[in-house]
Amino acid sequence: MWEQLINDVDQHFEQLVETRRYLHQHPELSFKEYDTANYIASFYDQLDIPYQTNVGGNGVIARIKGHKPGKTIAFRADFDALPIHDQKTVDYRSQTEGVMHACGHDGHTSILLTFAKLLKSIEHELAGEIVLVHQHAEELPPGGAKSIIDSGALEDVDYVFGTHLWSGTPLGVVETAPEEFMAGADKFHVTIQGKGGHGAMPHETKDAVIIGAQLVDQLQQIVSRRLNPLDTAVVTIGKFQAGDTFNIIADQAQLSGTVRTFDPSVQDKIIDEMNAIISGVCTGYDVSFHLDYEKGYPPVVNHRAEAARALEAAEHIQEVKKAQWVKPSMTAEDFSYYLLEKPGAFFFTGAQIEDQFYPHHHPKFDFDERAMLIAVKTFLQITKSYQSK
């Protein structure tokens, strides 16, 4: 039965693509995914699969209960988009100006819906219960995962799994890590209040641009000079805004950036060092400042047994050339919240388009849609592996 079901996945490729491309054309931003949630609910209506809407916000959770006793396994897909203008020249390009599925969440949703349709066809033979978690707002902290968990909707779940279509990994490669897999991600914003003036009389000013430049330089030295070289961390300044014109010295500068860590003690060390550096530089220049530091998603830390189960499941799929352990990534994901509550694993499904690579969150981002077949088959193999337990 299971072998036939997995072989049948290929027959659903056209629907996988159609669903994904429809969602790609109709993206919605985090916390505003109302039409997408309705689309998902309508799909389950057609399959006669019971579901809940408005879980933790815009989340949708469906359940397929087998006719035999067994474990309760959750599979998650996110469905929000990003505030990015789609620059691809394809017929399924986003139809919403300035909003785009630039991270593969349209594919994730299509994968989970097709997975559900296939499982529904063997419901009478299924042991246990499959929980299909369609999560809103992965892209924007505080995210949707934590609110879904706080709703209590997953209290009865035994294990949780998820995948991310990964445009930087070749098609046919499945990757994960036994423990730490993706970093925790924080963001910060610094406002420097100096004293502006005429560009010809700098001695009468407190130049916010100069001060901001000092901070950019010194904050980068936290990782290179203030942390143990064996600790993993990133401090990135992604935004520097100051001034209005070429001959006026700016009175204010604003810096924004991100901090990525795996260890809470390293995270705390970086926060302490940032406060010390910013305070020291601004005191030296006799200006005021404000630091707004927001702790974001915790690190994605897999459970070793479940991560190994995911790789073993992928190894049984004909299209998978390699299923492998990899080093952790400094990217982030709010799937981390599920793994803090339940045993499970998150893994990458390689989706790189041959001879083309645009990273996630790029305006020309796309993925090889054949990767969706591999992801569905991996979910089925994971489910199968629990059937005899």
Binding-site residues for Mn(2+) sit at 103, 105, 139, 164, 361
Q: What does 158-215 look like in DSSP terms, one character per residue? A: SEEEEEEEEEEEETTEEEE-SSEEE-EEEEEEEEEE-B-EETT-GGGSB-HHHHHHHH
Active site residue 125: no
Q: How far apart are CA 326 and CA 323, in angstroms?
A: 10
Q: Is 191 exposed, middle or buried (0-12, 13-18, 19+ CB in 10 A)?
A: middle
Q: How far apart are CA 254 and CA 199, in angstroms?
A: 19
Q: How far apart are CA 347 and CA 161, in angstroms?
A: 8
List, as residue ranges, the binding site.
103, 105, 139, 164, 361
Question: Strand, helix or coil at 244?
Answer: coil
Query: Exactly one of 28, 33, 106, 138 is catalytic; which is it?
Result: 138
How distant, in Å, are the alpha carbons of 30, 187, 238, 353 from that of 141? 9, 10, 17, 29
Exposure letters 134-156 (e unless 16+ CB within 10 A, then b): bbbbbbbbebbbbbbbebebbee
Tokens 């073993």 belong to residue: 312
The answer to whether residues 287 and 280 touch, using CB atoms and an 8 Å cutoff, is no
Active site residue 106: no
Record the tokens describing residue 143, joined without a space: 């995210």
Q: How far apart are CA 363 and CA 309, in angstroms?
A: 35
Query: Exactly one of 28, 78, 80, 175 is catalytic; which is it?
Result: 80
Residues tagged active-site? 80, 138
